[in-house]
Structure formats: structure tokens, C-alpha cells
DNA sequence: TAACGGAACT
DNA sequence: GAGTTCCGTT
């Protein structure tokens, strides 16, 4: 159960980063050229994102609805959604408004939910230790049948970098783990803590390497003599065979379809100049200019289908002018057992099943197709044999002392492990070389203490059972994987880091385990460990909660912590001072809430209200609400 | 709603 | 020059 819950938590967090967005529109003062912002509170539609310009920040809200209910049926709850989707407006302390858009709530309760469910069971496949992030849009419909009844709602609310949304929109496609090398994060019953820890570190290294590689690859796509043109970019995507769930050849010469038009637009925008505002509307305008130039034409009657004119020449042009581009196949295509054949019924477009590892070119282009396949194989080889990924540096991981003090007899479940003081911190370099990004693994001890902290206990736990270690170790592995998915949370780095302790303002309602507070010794030797890990606020409300709840709370705290810590992109620091996360609320609701039931839907909706009354700027609140329980019962 | 093309703009 | 941004129209 815990297992599921945790994966649910994590996946949901991931999901939210990508999907759930509600934002206010006080952007006019920040980019006055934007005409559409004359109505400052106009709700944004899903297809357009005008939140910011080049990293300007807006006030935004993230909603996480993680509901694992097996009652949800597609289309059933639209009425309920409407009831639950009033536009809400709240004044923030700085006078700006926060708006909760109807569309977003709808999304949150229905589509969002199903995607989440899918992610729970598919994406976050803990057994296979893999985040399979491709093509999830195609799957969410089938995702709601196989999970338990547990509802978790997390709200992340406050000023968040607009980068968070736009970047995470393309992130999942770029984050994957290699198939063979991936260790299972799910510890076997006999797995030692040391091994788990090592695996955690290794996983971090893999993510690190992979992201570096992805960064490089993406930065190379579609560049010709320093100039980047849209048609070349699209062509590279098509030939690379790496984004076949975004853009694909059809079975006709030069013809391609944008399976995820908005996604392609985002890729384009990000690639060109990190333009977060790019969308299909604009991209298609650019494509229409190609009509006059006879580079691309529209295939009429088929949505999102275009065709290169003179593909052969275009490819030749690319070969002559472009830098050497190395594009390995997408590993996850193998993972998922090859790509699915897909049919867009509305347009009668049949898309052939692509063969993993080969370039999928139109049949009519056989001559070139073969060449391309060969070229691609060469490139693959060169990637595998010569391309060196920057190794992640691992420092300050004191496995030895831990091993000494830990019992090696793991066959007895009653064995307790004495943990040494917090010296099990792994630091991994992360992100681009020189970026200074670090993964800071949490201390095993403080992590465990946080996870298994019980408010009514007189002293903090010093010994941990194998069972607890087991649970926790799976978390560690999980974090190591997931943390890489939160680069956009880099905007929070400063607020959680040394200068501003966002948890220092915890209200009296929150207790902090004294033993979890950072010691002077720790902060002397190391950068101060994030307060979220060390000072993890444990709500008094947990007194009445079962251990699972407090564990979940702690887990989410760590997720957030790691999300904050492990960033891929660097955000200008001067922006961060005032861009603290307003507050993060975690609400774990009791199980068996079916969103599809109208009455309960309203109750879910009401969950937001008390959350929003908390105005602790820069505070992470983990709430386990008794009132919610009352409401629901 | 996708698609189109004008207009202003970078 | 090659889009980007926005928008009215089909």
C-alpha cells in the first residue's frame, strides 16, 4: 500500500509539473507589449500560454489532484466538474490576484486524473525502474481501471517560475533511463541498505548522464551554419526518429503529421530561443510562409499534416550544411515494445508502425531512406562507442561507516539498524557541466526519521527495522529518479537554500522534531542541508493520523525538497529572492473518495478552501486535515 | 477548431 | 530574412 501510495505521490507530482497549471494574469506590467493582457484576469485557455517573457515570473498555482479511484469513467463526470469549477480569486499579500481557472479544475478532476492514474500504473513502473514518459497522452483513457482507492490532493501554490510549466512540458520526452543499465529501485527483501544507497547514487548518475546527453542532442537539432530554420528543425526531428510521438512521417512521400502539434511547437520554441510562448498557432503561421517558398505544403483535408516539397533536395541541403548531428534512437521505444500503430480516424491517416532503431522515412523515398538508415546506424555506433558522457561525481558518501554500524543479518525482519549521524549524504554533480548543480541525497538517518517520525514518540527513532529501511530505500531510489524531472523548480532553490528558510515560518500548528534540526557540525562541514530534509515539519495533526499519512507527508516533503534541489537549469539568482514558493500544501484525504460522485466532488472542491486560507509565505505546510475527514464523513 | 493570410513587429 | 505575435475570417 505504501508502495503504491508513494508512487502515486511521486507520479502525481511529476504529473502536476507537466499538466496542472493555473495561473494568474498580472503579467501586463511585465510585458506590456502583450496585447492580450489588457484583460489582466482573463483566463488562459489550454492552447495558449502567455504567462511570461523570458523567465519573467507570474503568480501561478499548481494543482495536484492525485486520485486513484477505480470508479472514474470517461466522460461521466463532466457535470460534476462543472459544479466544481467556479472561478476563484484570492488576493495575495502583494495585492495580486490568484485565479483558479475553471478549465484547470476541469482538467484536474477528469483528464488530469486519468492521466495520473495511468502514470501510476504505467509510467512509474517501479518494478522495472523506469520512467516511460513517452506517448502517455494516448494511454490515459485506459488508465483508470487498475488502481486502489486513495485520494491525495496536493496543492502547490504561490509564485512559481513560469519556466516550470513551459519547460516541464517538454521534459518528459527528454528524460528517460537506459534500459539495460537501470537498476531496480524496488529493493528485494534481502537488499541491504548499502546496496540500496549505491543504487540510488547510480540512478542519479544515470539521470545525470542522460540529461547531459539530451541537452546536447537537443541543442544540436536543426542547426545549419549557426542558423536555425523551422523546416530543418522539423526535418531533423523526423529523421532522427526520436520524437515519433510528436511528429512522424506518414506513408506518403515527404508527408508528415504533427501528432502533438503543441508539443512540437514547444520543442521548436525551446530549441530556437527558449521561447516558452511558442504554440501551434504561431508555428503553423511559420509553416504557411513556407507555402510561398515551396518548401512545405499543406495536405488539405488532413489535420496537422504537411508535406515537404522536394524532400530529397532538402535532405541534401541539410547534409551539406548542417553540423554533424548525432541522434541515437529513443530507448523507450524498445521499452514499450515498439511503437504503436496509430490511426487518426478523423483524417483517415494511417501511420505505420515504426521499427525501433531505424529511420522511418516514406516508402517513396526508398533510395534516401536506405541511406538514412545506414547513416543512422553509423551514428548510433558512434554514440555508443565514442561519445563519452560526463561522469557524475560522487562525493561524501560514507558507505563504510554505515556498513560497519549496520547489521548485516538481513534475514531477520526484527533486526534493527543503528544509523550513524547524518553522514550519508551523496552529492552528485548534475546538469550541465559547470552549472554547479548538485543532487544532494538526503541523509539516510534524517530521511528515515522524517519518514517514520511519530509526534507522540518521546524521542526520535534511532533504530530502524528492516521493514522501515526497506520502505525508505525504495523511496530513495524513487527520489533519485524523480528528482531529475523537476528542473524547473530551480526557481525555488534560493528560497529553500541557505538564505531563506521557508520552513522557519511554520506556524505554531507545526512541530519540528528537534533531532532533525541541523547541527552546527553539519553546517560547518557541508552546505546547510535543506531545511526540508532536516527540519521537515511534521504536523501536529499527525497525532491523529495513521503512520501512513505522516510517512506520506514526509515523503512528499522530500519530493519537494529533492525537486528543489535537483535542478537542471540555472535560473538567474536575482530573480529568486522574491520568487519563493508561496506555500505548498499537501492534503491527504482519506481513501474511498470517488470523484465521479457529485457530492463527493464538491467535497473535494471544498478541500481547496481551507488550504487557501493559509498565508504563510514561504512555508511548506503538510496538512492532514481532520476537517476534511469530517466533511467527507 | 484547424487553417488561412494580413499586418505589425523583431 | 525568417520568423513571431496577434487576429479576423473561413
CB atoms within 10 A of CB A338: 13
Contact A472, A552 (CB under 8 A): no
- Which nucleotide C1' is nearest A292 CA? B5
Q: How long is the CA A284 to C1' B6 vector, in angstroms?
A: 15
Distance of CA A425 to the CA centre of its chain: 23
Contact A605, A597 (CB under 8 A): no
Q: How long is the CA A189 to C1' B7 vector, in angstroms?
A: 67
Task: Determine how β-strand A619-623 pairs with β-strand A583-589.
Answer: parallel
Cβ-based burial of A40 (10 A; exposed 0-12, middle 13-18, buried ≥19): middle
Q: How long is the CA A281 to C1' C8 vector, in angstroms?
A: 14
pLDDT digits (tens, 9 = 90+) for A524-539: 222 222 222 222 222 2
Task: Quote the pLDDT of residue A310.
Answer: 85
- Which nucleotide C1' is nearest A293 CA? C2
Q: Which residue is nearest to nucleotide C3 (CA to C1')?
A: A286
Q: How long is the CA A295 to C1' C2 vector, in angstroms?
A: 13
Chain B: nucleotides below 7 Å from protein CB are 2-7
Q: How long is the CA A33 to C1' C8 vector, in angstroms?
A: 20
From CA A133, how far away is CA A170, in angstroms rounded?
A: 10
Q: How long is the CA A607 to C1' B5 vector, in angstroms?
A: 47
Q: How long is the CA A116 to C1' C7 vector, in angstroms?
A: 36
From CA A626, how far away is CA A173, in angstroms rounded?
A: 39
Q: Which residue is nearest to nucleotide C2 (CA to C1')?
A: A229
Q: How long is the CA A298 to C1' B7 vector, in angstroms?
A: 22
From CA A510, how far away is CA A539, in angstroms rounded?
A: 5
Query: In the structure grid, which three cell numbers stand for residue A13, read together?
Result: 507530482
- Which nucleotide C1' is nearest A280 CA? B2
**SS3 assignment, position A244:** coil
Give φ, ψ of A541 to 5 degrees.
Answer: -55, -20
Strand B contacts (Cβ < 7 A) comprise A 47, 261, 281, 284-285, 287-288, 291, 298, 300, 302-305
- Which nucleotide C1' is nearest A306 CA? B3
Residues of chain A with pLDDT under 70: 1-226, 241-242, 319-633
What is the rounded end-to-end Cα distance, in angstroms, of chain A? Answer: 22
- Which nucleotide C1' is nearest A284 CA? B3
Give me the helices (H) in A420-519, please: 444-451, 466-482, 493-496
Per DSSP, A330 falls in state: P
- Which nucleotide C1' is nearest A258 CA? B2
Q: Which residue is nearest to nucleotide B6 (CA to C1')?
A: A285
The DSSP secondary structure of A576-597, one letter per residue, reads HTT----EEEEEEEPS---TTS
Per DSSP, A570 falls in state: -
Give me the helices (H) in A49-184, please: 78-83, 102-109, 111-118, 163-174
Query: In the structure grid, which three cell numbers stand for residue A493, read together?
Result: 532553490
Q: How long is the CA A282 to C1' B6 vector, in angstroms?
A: 14
From CA A549, how far away is CA A2, in angstroms rounded?
A: 10
Nearest to A575 by CA among A166, A52, A219, A167: A52
Q: How long is the CA A156 to C1' C2 vector, in angstroms?
A: 40
Cβ-based burial of A599 (10 A; exposed 0-12, middle 13-18, buried ≥19): exposed
The helix (H) or strand (E) run that includes residue A248 is strand A247-249
Cβ-based burial of A98 (10 A; exposed 0-12, middle 13-18, buried ≥19): buried
From CA A571, how far away is CA A489, in angstroms rounded?
A: 9
CA distances from A88 to A36, A113, A328, A412, A607 (A): 21, 21, 46, 54, 13
Give φ, ψ of A94 to 5 degrees.
Answer: -85, 10
Chain C: nucleotides below 7 Å from protein CB are 2-7
Q: Which residue is nearest to nucleotide C6 (CA to C1')?
A: A35
Q: How long is the CA A174 to C1' C10 vector, in angstroms?
A: 38
Cβ-based burial of A520 (10 A; exposed 0-12, middle 13-18, buried ≥19): exposed
In angstroms and rounded to an integer, the radius of gyration of the C-alpha atoms of chain A is: 25
From CA A359, how far away is CA A238, in angstroms rounded?
A: 8
Q: How long is the CA A290 to C1' B5 vector, in angstroms?
A: 13
Strand C contacts (Cβ < 7 A) comprise A 33-36, 50, 228-231, 268-269, 272-273, 275, 277-278, 281-283, 285-286, 289, 293
Query: Is the backbone of residue A499 left (phi > 0), alpha (psi -120 to 50) or beta?
Result: alpha
From CA A426, how far away is CA A439, in angstroms rounded?
A: 7
Task: Quote the pLDDT of residue A607.
Answer: 28
From CA A486, how far away is CA A152, in angstroms rounded?
A: 20
The residue whose grid cell reads 537539432 is A221
A292 Cβ contact list (under 8 Å, min separation 6) = none
- Which nucleotide C1' is nearest A47 CA? B1
Q: Check: pTM over 0.85? Answer yes or no.
A: no
Q: How long is the CA A107 to C1' C4 vector, in angstroms?
A: 29
Task: Quote the pLDDT of residue A12.
Answer: 35
Task: Determine how β-strand A130-131 pairs with β-strand A537-539.
Answer: unpaired
Query: In the structure grid, which three cell numbers stand for residue A11, read together?
Result: 507520479
- Which nucleotide C1' is nearest A298 CA? B3
Task: Quote the pLDDT of residue A425.
Answer: 30
A565: Cα within 13 Å, side-chain hemisphere: 28
Its sign, for the CA torsion A108, A112, A117, A119, is negative
From CA A624, how far away is CA A585, in angstroms rounded?
A: 10
Q: How long is the CA A286 to C1' B2 vector, in angstroms?
A: 15
Amino acid at each position: 500500500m505504501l508502495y503504491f501510495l508513494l508512487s502515486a505521490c511521486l507520479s502525481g507530482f511529476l504529473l502536476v509539473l507537466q499538466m496542472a497549471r493555473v495561473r494568474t494574469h498580472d503579467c501586463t506590467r511585465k510585458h506590456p507589449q502583450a496585447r492580450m493582457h489588457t484583460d489582466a484576469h482573463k483566463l488562459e485557455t489550454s492552447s495558449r500560454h502567455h504567462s511570461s517573457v523570458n523567465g519573467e515570473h507570474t503568480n501561478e498555482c499548481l494543482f495536484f489532484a492525485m486520485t486513484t479511484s477505480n470508479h472514474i469513467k470517461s466522460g461521466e463526470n463532466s457535470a460534476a466538474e462543472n459544479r466544481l469549477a467556479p472561478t476563484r480569486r484570492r488576493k495575495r499579500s502583494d495585492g495580486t490576484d490568484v485565479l483558479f481557472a475553471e478549465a484547470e479544475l476541469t482538467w484536474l478532476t477528469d483528464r488530469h486524473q486519468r492521466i495520473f492514474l495511468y502514470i501510476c500504473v504505467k509510467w512509474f513502473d517501479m518494478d522495472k525502474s523506469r520512467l516511460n514518459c513517452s506517448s502517455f497522452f494516448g494511454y490515459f483513457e485506459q488508465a483508470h481501471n487498475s488502481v486502489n482507492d486513495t485520494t491525495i490532493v496536493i496543492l502547490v501554490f504561490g509564485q512559481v517560475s513560469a519556466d516550470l510549466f513551459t519547460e516541464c512540458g517538454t521534459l518528459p520526452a527528454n528524460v528517460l533511463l537506459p534500459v539495460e543499465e537501470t537498476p531496480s529501485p524496488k529493493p528485494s527483501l534481502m537488499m541491504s541498505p548499502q546496496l540500496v544507497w549505491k543504487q540510488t547514487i547510480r540512478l542519479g548518475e544515470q539521470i545525470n548522464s542522460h540529461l547531459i546527453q539530451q541537452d546536447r542532442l537537443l541543442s544540436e537539432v536543426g542547426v545549419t551554419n549557426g542558423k536555425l530554420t523551422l523546416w530543418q528543425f522539423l526535418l531533423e526531428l523526423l529523421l532522427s526518429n526520436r520524437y515519433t510521438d510528436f511528429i512522424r512521417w506518414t506513408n506518403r512521400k515527404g508527408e508528415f503529421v504533427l501528432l502533438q502539434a503543441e508539443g512540437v511547437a514547444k520543442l521548436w520554441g525551446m530549441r530556437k530561443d527558449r521561447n516558452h510562448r511558442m504554440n501551434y498557432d504561431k508555428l503553423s503561421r511559420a509553416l504557411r510562409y513556407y507555402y510561398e517558398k515551396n518548401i512545405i505544403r499543406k495536405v488539405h483535408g488532413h489535420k496537422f499534416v504537411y508535406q515537404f516539397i522536394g524532400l530529397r533536395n532538402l535532405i541534401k541541403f541539410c547534409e551539406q550544411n548542417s553540423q554533424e548531428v548525432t541522434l541515437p534512437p529513443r530507448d523507450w521505444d524498445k521499452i514499450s515494445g515498439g511503437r504503436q500503430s496509430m490511426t487518426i480516424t478523423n483524417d483517415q491517416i494511417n501511420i505505420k508502425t515504426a521499427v525501433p532503431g531505424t529511420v522511418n522515412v516514406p516508402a517513396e523515398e526508398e533510395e534516401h531512406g536506405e541511406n538514412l538508415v545506414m547513416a543512422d546506424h553509423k551514428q548510433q555506433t558512434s554514440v555508443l562507442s565514442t561519445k563519452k558522457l560526463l561522469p557524475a561525481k560522487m562525493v561524501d558518501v560514507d558507505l563504510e561507516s554505515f556498513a560497519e554500524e549496520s547489521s548485516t543479518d538481513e534475514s531477520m525482519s526484527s533486526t534493527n539498524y543503528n544509523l550513524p549521524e547524518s553522514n550519508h549524504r551523496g552529492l552528485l554533480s548534475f546538469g550541465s557541466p559547470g552549472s554547479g548543480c548538485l543532487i544532494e541525497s538526503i541523509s539516510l538517518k534524517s530521511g528515515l526519521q522524517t519518514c517514520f517520525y511519530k509526534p507522540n514518540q518521546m524521542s526520535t527513532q534511532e533504530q530502524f527495522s528492516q521493514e522501515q529501511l526497506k520502505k525508505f530505500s525504495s523511496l530513495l531510489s524513487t527520489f533519485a529518479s524523480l528528482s531529475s524531472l523537476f528542473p524547473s523548480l530551480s526557481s525555488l532553490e534560493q528560497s529553500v537554500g541557505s538564505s531563506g528558510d521557508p520552513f522557519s515560518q511554520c506556524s505554531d500548528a507545526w512541530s519540528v522534531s528537534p533531532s532533525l534540526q541541523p547541527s552546527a557540525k553539519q553546517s560547518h562541514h557541508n552546505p546547510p542541508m535543506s531545511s526540508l530534509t532536516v527540519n521537515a515539519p511534521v504536523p501536529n495533526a499527525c497525532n491523529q493520523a495513521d503512520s501512513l499519512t505522516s510517512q506520506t507527508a514526509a515523503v512528499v516533503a522530500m519530493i519537494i525538497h529533492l525537486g528543489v534541489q535537483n535542478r537542471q537549469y540555472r535560473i538567474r539568482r536575482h530573480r529568486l529572492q522574491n520568487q519563493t514558493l508561496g506555500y505548498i500544501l499537501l492534503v491527504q484525504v482519506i481513501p474511498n473518495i470517488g470523484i465521479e460522485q457529485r457530492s463527493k466532488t464538491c467535497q473535494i472542491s471544498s478541500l481547496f478552501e481551507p488550504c487557501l486560507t493559509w498565508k504563510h509565505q514561504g512555508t511548506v505546510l503538510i496538512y492532514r486535515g481532520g476537517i476534511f475527514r469530517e466533511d467527507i464523513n
